[in-house]
Amino acid sequence: MKDHLSPKEIARVVAVGAAAEGALHLRQCALCASEAARLRCALGNFREAVTAHALTYSRSPFQPPAKATRWTRWPLLVAAAAVVLLAAPVYQNVHSRHLAAQAAADAQLLDQVTLDVSEAAPRPMQGLEQLVVWTSTQPDNTSKGDVR
């Protein structure tokens, strides 16, 4: 006699009644037979639970709601519409303030960049300007007779 069946083999025998050799082993081995019985019981309990659930919640989602539900739903819709209508201007105001603050910050940054770019030398080097004499009358080395 073969060793015990694997859980996969037991499931195959329970589900589809596979291989005659597996069914024969279940008849001869008490341990494998008890595992198969436990599996059948679990599957039966699952089937009953699904059936009970389906019967409890069998109402189609396309069925119109009960009349009591119709009358209790419209105040919620009105309240939701009121919230949307009141929230839109508030959002618009906050958004426009944010855009104005961003524009002011951008303008300040551009002013600072313009100021920095318009300086003759960077601030750390401005002290050196006084040490160097700049003249625009330096001789031009590329005269007609000088070819390099």
Q: How far apart are CA 34 and CA 7, in angstroms?
A: 12
Note whether 32 and 10 are within 8 A (CB): yes
Query: pLDDT tens digit string along 31-80?
Result: 888 888 898 898 888 888 888 887 777 666 666 555 655 567 778 888 88
Q: Kindly report the length of the chain.
A: 148
Residue type, 128: L
Q: How far apart are CA 32 and CA 24, in angstroms?
A: 11
pTM of the model: 0.37
How many CB atoms within 10 Å of residue 117? 7
Query: pLDDT tens digit string along 88-117?
Result: 888 899 999 999 999 999 999 999 988 877
